[in-house]
Amino acid sequence: MARAGLSNRQQRMLDFIIRFMEETGRPPSIREIGKAIDISSTSVVNYNLNRLVEEGYLERDQNVSRGIRLTDKNPQYSRSVADVIRVPLVGRIFASEPVPMPGTDSPIFDTDEAIELTRELLPAKHEGLFALQVRGDSMIDAMVNDGDIVVMRQVQEWANGDMVAVWMRDKEETTLKHIYREGPKVRLQPANPMMEPILIHDPSTLEVQGKVVMVVRQLEPA
């Protein structure tokens, strides 16, 4: 039975959002909501989400990826706002052959959105975390697909086998790969048997901008 002020469709939508967040620790996307409620039009999903906002069941930031929050008008939702961590979604990283980027001081960091994840899904220390959307399929055997989001920690030190976002300053190229030290060289290893590793003969030209700590899988086409 729908709550006062809500249609049956809006109640189903709210129930799905609560269930999705309980199970995954993050808000669903517009397309995930539409698929679950059998609505093909994103504008219809948006209309009903806005009705849930007007009725006080949701808060919504339309400038943020998956920017839906449940309010305390949903007592059955057990996670408090304090349990949610906003991780800045700062750009894209290419899991492919290295891709040229404009020469800037911060080549990867070029957008200003965010994703929201529950605290229990993230490492104990939340400082220095950022997120990048993956483009390409060089890391598919590491279960990182095109359109997925990788949550990363800014690091200066790394260990063999870490999955890292790297900036090759001499080539002005960026890529996502596993990294290994091999004597005086560094090897950037894709997780795709169809692609060759990249050997960096002068490691001083390589800047590791972050290490992957979590992958957020996208259930919809990017």
Calculate the alpha carbon distances from 140 to 164, 213, 218 in Å.
Answer: 15, 16, 13
Determine contact, residues 93/134, Cβ cutoff 8 Å.
yes
Cα–Cα distance for residue pair 47/111, rounded to 1 Å: 26
Backbone phi, psi, residue 8, to 5°: -60, -40
Token digits for 117? 């994840």
Q: Are strands 84-94 and 129-135 parallel, antiparallel or unpaired?
A: parallel
Q: Any catalytic annotation for residue 73?
A: no
**H-assigned helices in the chain:** 8-24, 30-37, 42-54
Catalytic residue among 80, 177, 185, 204: 177
Catalytic residue among 29, 138, 204, 211: 138
Cα–Cα distance for residue pair 61/205, rounded to 1 Å: 39
Q: Any catalytic annotation for residue 177?
A: yes
Cα–Cα distance for residue pair 49/38, rounded to 1 Å: 14
- Angular region, 66: left φ>0, alpha ψ -120 to 50, beta rest: left
Cα–Cα distance for residue pair 129/24, rounded to 1 Å: 19
- Active-site positions read 138, 177
